Structure 1
Amino acid sequence: MASSIRISELSISEVLENLSSRKWKVPRFQREFVWDTSAVAGLATSVIDGYPIGMVTLWEQPSDSHIELEPLSIDDWDSQTKAKVVLEFGKPEANPTQVMAILDGRQRSTALTMAFSGFAPKFGGNKYSGRYFLNASLKDPLERVVFKKKVEIQREGLTNLEACIAKGYFPLASFDKDQSLLQQWYGYIQKLKDETIYPEGEFPDQEEIARRDKILQQAFEGITETKLGACTVPQRYDLGQICEIFETLNLTGMKVSTVDLINSWLLRDTNDQLHLREWMDDLSQLDGTIGWAMPKKRPELIAQISTACFVALNDLPTKPKARRVAGSSKPKAITSVKSSDLLATPVDHWIHLVDHTDEFSQFIGDFQKVVADGSFGYLQCPYPISSGIYVGLRWHKRFDPESTHGSWSVDDLNVIFRAFFWRNALATRYDQGFLSQMGTDMNLLKSILGSKGNFTNRAEWTEFAEEKISREVPHSEVRSHEQLVELLLNGRPGGALQSALLLPMIASASTDFMGHLLSGEDGSRVELHHIYPKRWCRENAAGDYLSLLGKDSVSEDFVDSISNLMPISREVNNLWKSKSPATFLQEKGITYEGDVKSSFEKVFIDEECFNLLKGGMSSIEAFWRRRANLIADRLVELTEIS
């Protein structure tokens, strides 16, 4: 058996044979077949045209595989019992010695069997019940592969080969299951020219016969020459390693979904009581997890935070034991939130976590308030998985026996974690990889918190905490006030650092200064616009202001800098976007008082900044520099243990 990942190519016949002989099987965690008939027809068209049809990912399995494998199947309906049944593809008597698990490619494999092997439900009311044809009578090659439902086949009399060919239809799957591809398509070409199968007076002229013959020849060539790529993963890899490999390499254009793997065994082990994705859907509606529980965009984030809660619990006899991940010889210690750790997280932990959904959601919401005094979505957070450290420590505080905590409080955690979070963010420490570091950092904070009872007063303890954290994140690595001001005044740095620089103003403001909401439907703050509009800057980049407003002629990009950005609703921005701030504020009669003052202060525009905005052209650079210093002041403050 091979020891390294290998890439190979298989013909359509070889693919169908592997599926029919059940050498290729589907793990139960794979999602059911969801393609529609037009997608199947599209894949079949690519095959007969000789176009690339992608790749499947296979995993070599031992004879005593721990994964539940089953033949390729689709849903059917038993009219007599009036119940759903499963229809399996292939030979029931097949008992191959070597089996491959299809990790990625069930949809494509099922589509090939439907199109070229006639695999279809028996119940006529099923949407897949029917047959795929090459309609050679059509002129448009893009529409030549058609699907006809069982009822249409009966109505149009397409129930035998001769009737089909007489009407220009050539079944992609032979009526004779024992025929080879060569026999099938050679037979089509022979019958195409047989006048006796056509109704009287309907035999096509020679030009049409020649055209259809050419179509058949090309289709046969496409079917015999088209190859399906196969990426085969050796048996020595376990499921956790496979998930990590494909998250990095993404060889097939799709990721092996860790969440779907977890969902599968949770359903099995809880008798279909715990559906992970449905729980995530419910979670996405709760205040603390709006913008964080995103089952369609990033489902693994909630799974990672959930496993972080398990990592944070003390190793007591009451702590559930890790699961053995399929493909591994024994259970592994869960110390981080890599894919293998998520897969090993025990079912009892998931059940307990779901039973305490409200607290889990609250802890994620508290994380947001602790680090930025407000709410924000994961898309706005530098290193969102780092929330798992905070949520995990809250979980430890809430569910581990009180005697194991020490004398620390949630307020103590908030102070320590906030400083730690912001030092990491402004040092971009996690750019080199957070997953392997999370367990170590959690233990560091846990030890600092647990040591509080060893000190006679809070000042001594915070001094100790400062020393311990500084060893892990030296002050020399954290951006200084001067460096932050420089970053805030010169374009946008991108990545996690940009998210960190923007976060304080994004999280603090829920409405703009005119009272319009800034939140998207998923709870994330998305309405960031230029204070001095880009269009206005371009139009005024001349004379003494060319070096300030002309992006191409200066070393610093003030116009696109963070100091020139502010959360503003789309409605307000549409009114403002072609005017200077001074003109807009004057037209709207906006003064710095009441709710307006509060809204501006939240986005780092104090009264001095406001007056500079109203001051016209001569105050532009002074405004940007003043505001950059205010943001930098707050960022530095957030890194301090107070």
Structure 2
Amino acid sequence: MDNFTIREILDAVYRGQIRIPAFQRGFVWEPDRVAFLIDSVYKNYPFGTLLFWRTNEQLKTERELGPFHLPEPNSDFPIDYVLDGQQRITSIFGVFQTELSGSSSDWKEIYYDFSKTEDIQETQFFALSEDEVDPSKHFPLSCIFNTSEYRKMTKEMDDDLAANIDQMQSVFKEARIPVQTFKTDEKEKVAIIFERINRQGVPLDTLQLLSAWTWSEDFQLQEQFQDLIDELNQYGFTDISNDISLLLRCTASVLTGSSRPESLVNLNGADVRARFDEVLNGIKGALDFIWGEYSLPTIENLPYHNIIVPLSVFFSKKDGVDFNFSGEQKEKLNRWFWRSSFSKRFSSGVLRNMDADIVEMVKLKEGASSSIDNISVSIDPGFFIRNAFQINSVSTKTFVAMLAQYNPKNFVSGTSVDLSEKLQKYNRKQFHHIMPKAFLLSTGQTDYNPNVLANLCFISAADNREIGKKAPSEYKTNMAGNVDEILESHLCPHSLFKDTFIPFVQERAEILAQKARELCEV
């Protein structure tokens, strides 16, 4: 155990010796917390030990020290990478340094309020913006180790105040920062130490722990995930902060057989790196299957995002390995997909059900007897009448996914609906009422909610303008295509043109329920 002075820490950072490895999280402390740490240093209260990993080899990827741009290391010195205490060392350096430029407007200077009486509980150190500084009572700590600036600031002070400031400066000059340093060339050992340290106190999130665990010079897990998300952008993935939980579940499921991301930190990092291609291929295979089999182009179209998790297990494979599945396996996957959706399998007991499905997916993949599709589901016409159209509800997404299976045609022209466009832009504007709301209100047919699923289908905004507000028997004349084919493609009965809402909705609900049972094969 060593004890560094603040001056020694400043000098080590200036010459590029102290650095931040890429797998560390960024600097997150608020200015007031920085000031609180400085108060603890001043009062000699315990504030933790810094942990350095000393090496003669610079890493290819590093972080800045908070908002400060680090200089290149001096070749005459070894490099000390901060494994524990990044927030503390960044705070201490930022408060007293004067040589490095920063990139953050959030950083505030710390000032000593010499108008306050020293107290064991209350602080005399505050983070202030320029307009909050009162020179008659605030002294900047940034000049403590800058001799010329310090002399300039204290030159005109009376003796008592100068003695007060000198005493404060002396405390910081003599303060000792406890540092533990270890040396090793085994980067895997470094990651393990980092991960174990960060299980104590305020834990890192699972991705950071896993990044530490799997980290190597040529494998940065967060970058791998971000690259994957960029590649999957067409499937509705956006950025790592939005989609990381789903990707971690897929990763855990493929590598551990559990959907719980925390199971990953118990793996050997080398194994994660060696098998990560299986994860990538599993996710891509699952998404390709969903688009090819169900015409659902984005994850937003899925009744549950978590459907991807067990599917990733089934489609996982190593690079260069051919993967073919039989017709029987495909039938089981289809029954599982539709039964899971209509039964709302992942609305409760999510982890339990996902883990059970992962076990059965492995059996199915290996050609063993699998009960993956043994899910109880009951579908009656009331499903399509009880549930109103709400774009993000499981019932609505399941309904829309079902409609996508029957090659729906544009209501006016009779041409096929471009599902890739409609579903990529997945929103309420892509769906409209078969019996227009305005028509129902004008004829007093308000016994049923006009927004029930059985009264909605794919209708473009342009087509809706053609038929909107009209009675079905009237807008039928605008339907230039084959009316029978158009209605059949929307699972819609001819009773629509009788202009009576309740009989139409009930008959369509019967048709929809029958088609749903066929998809589930129940």
TM-score, normalised to structure 2, is: 0.60
Query: Is 1:572 matched up with 2:462?
Result: yes
Q: d(CA) in 1 for partners of 2:441 and 2:423?
A: 38
Deviations along 1:66-114, one digit per CA (max 9) or x if unpaired, are xxxx9994443438979xx99999xxxxxxxxxx967xxx77x788657
Q: Is residue 145 of structure 1 aligned with residue 129 of structure 2? A: yes
| Matched-pair contact (CA < 8 Å) for 1:293–1:299 | no
Contact 2:249 2:259 in 1 (8 A): yes
Specify the alignment match of 2:258 in structure 1.
Answer: 336
Structure 1 residue 635, shift from structure 2 partner: 2.0
3-state secondary structure, aligned to 2:24: coil
3-state SS, counterpart of residue 33 of structure 1: coil
Instruction: Name the counterpart of 1:547.
Output: 447
Are the equivalent residues in 1 in contact too, given 2:440–2:501 (CA < 8 A)?
no
Which of 100, 115, 118 in structure 2 is aligned with 1:123?
Answer: 100
1:176 aligns with 2:144: yes
Cα deviations across residues 271-329 of structure 1 (Å, max 9, x unaligned)? 1x23334333443455797224742311221232233233xxxxxxxxxxxxxxxxxxx
Counterpart selection for 1:274 from 194, 219, 222: 219
Change beyond 3 A, Cα 1:423–1:45:
closer
Contact 2:209/2:265 (8 A) holds in 1: yes
- Give the whole-Å Cα distance in 1 for the aligned partners of 2:384 and 2:265: 43
| Contact persistence 2:434–2:457 (CA under 8 A) | no
Residue 563 (structure 1) aligned to one of 454, 465, 488: 454
Q: How many residues align?
A: 428
Whole-Å separation in 2 of the counterparts to 1:521 and 1:380? 10
What amino acid maps onto 1:262 in structure 2?
Answer: L
Determine the structure 1 residue equivalent to 2:478: 589
C-alpha contact (below 8 Å) 2:431/2:457 kept by paired residues: yes
Paired position in structure 2 for 1:375: 296
- Residues 589 and 538 (structure 1), Cα distance of their counterparts in 2 relative to 1, 3 Å cut: closer
| Residue 480 of structure 1 pairs with residue 396 of structure 2 | no
Say if 2:490 is the partner of 1:640.
Answer: no
Change (3 A) 1:481 1:433: same
Which residue does the alignment assign to 2:505? 624
- Report if aligned partners of 1:527, 1:568 keep a CA contact under 8 Å in 2: no
Alignment equivalent of 2:289, drawn from 334, 347, 366: 366
Tell which deviates more after alignment, 275-284 or 413-422: 275-284
Deviation (angstroms), 1:336: 0.4
Q: Which amino acid in the other structure matches residue 129 of structure 2?
A: V
What is the alpha-carbon distance in structure 2 between the residues aligned to residue 398 and residue 421 of structure 1? 26
- Taking the aligned partners of 2:500 and 2:394, their CA distance within structure 1 comes to 31
**Paired position in structure 1 for 2:248:** 303
Partner of 2:141: helix, strand, or coil?
A: coil
Distance 1:191 1:279, change over 3 A: same
Partner residue, 1:31: 25
Which structure 1 residue ranges, 5 or more long, are not aligned?
1-15, 49-59, 90-99, 137-142, 149-163, 179-183, 195-237, 247-251, 311-333, 403-407, 453-463, 549-557
- Residue identity over aligned pairs, in percent, reads 13
Superposed counterparts of 1:329-478, under 5 Å: 334-345=256-267, 346-354=269-277, 357=280, 360-370=283-293, 373-395=294-316, 409-447=325-363, 468=371, 473=375, 475=376, 478=377
After superposition, the Cα gap between the structure-2 partners of 1:286 and 1:427, relative to the gap in structure 1 and judged at 3 Å, is same
CA distance in 2, matches of 1:46, 1:539: 65
Counterpart of 1:132 in structure 2 is 109
Distance 1:71 1:422, change over 3 A: closer
Q: What is the CA–CA distance in structure 1 between the aligned matches of 2:517 and 2:423, rounded to whole Å?
A: 30
Q: Of residues 427, 443, 446 in structure 2, which corresponds to 1:526?
A: 427
User: Is residue 261 of structure 1 aligned with residue 209 of structure 2?
Assistant: yes
CA contact (8 A) 1:576 1:584 kept: no
Q: Please give the residue correspondences for 1:204-219 in structure 2 after superposition, counting only pairs within 5 Å.
A: none
> What SS class does the counterpart of residue 531 from structure 1 fall into?
strand
Residue by residue over 1:551-583, the C-alpha shift from the partner in whole angstroms, topping out at 9 and shown as x without a partner, is xxxxxxx223222333455x5388479x32548
Aligned to 1:566, what secondary structure does the other structure show? strand
Kindly indicate whether the alpha-carbon contact (under 8 Å) linking 1:307 and 1:337 is maintained by their aligned counterparts in 2.
yes
Residue 190 of structure 2 corresponds to none
Structure 1's 497 and 145: CA in aligned 2 closer, same or farther, altered over 3 A? same
Cα displacement (A) at 1:412: 2.0
Structure 1 residue 419: deviation in Å? 0.9
Describe the shift of the 1:581–1:340 C-alpha distance in structure 2 as closer, same or farther (beyond 3 A). farther
CA deviation digits over 1:587-632, x for unaligned, max 9? Answer: 99333439x956x655x254627x53xx5xx333344333333332
Amino acid at match of 1:443: V
How many angstroms apart in 2 are the aligned matches of 1:62 and 1:438?
41
Tell me, in whole angstroms, the C-alpha distance in 2 between the residues paired with 1:359 and 1:29. 25
Aligned AA (1:414): K
Unaligned 5+ segments in structure 2 are 1-5, 11-18, 37-47, 54-61, 114-126, 161-193
How far did residue 586 of structure 1 move?
4.1
Contact kept in structure 1, 2:108 and 2:128, CA below 8 Å: no
Equivalent residues of 1:307, 1:341 under 8 A apart: yes
Q: Normalized against structure 1, the TM-score is what?
A: 0.50
Quote the Cα distance in structure 1 between the aligned partners of 2:131 and 2:84. 29
Taking a change above 3 Å as real, the CA distance of residues 145 and 165 of structure 1, as seen in their structure-2 partners, is: closer
What displacement does 1:366 show?
0.6
In 2, the alpha carbon distance for the partners of 1:364 and 1:526 equals 20
Choose from 384, 398, 402 the match for 1:504. Answer: 402
Q: Distance in 2 between matches of 1:350 and 1:303?
A: 14
Task: Give the equivalent residue in structure 2 for 1:209.
Answer: none
Q: Deviations for 1:109-129, whole angstroms, at most 9, x for unmatched residues?
A: 7886577x3456x234x4359
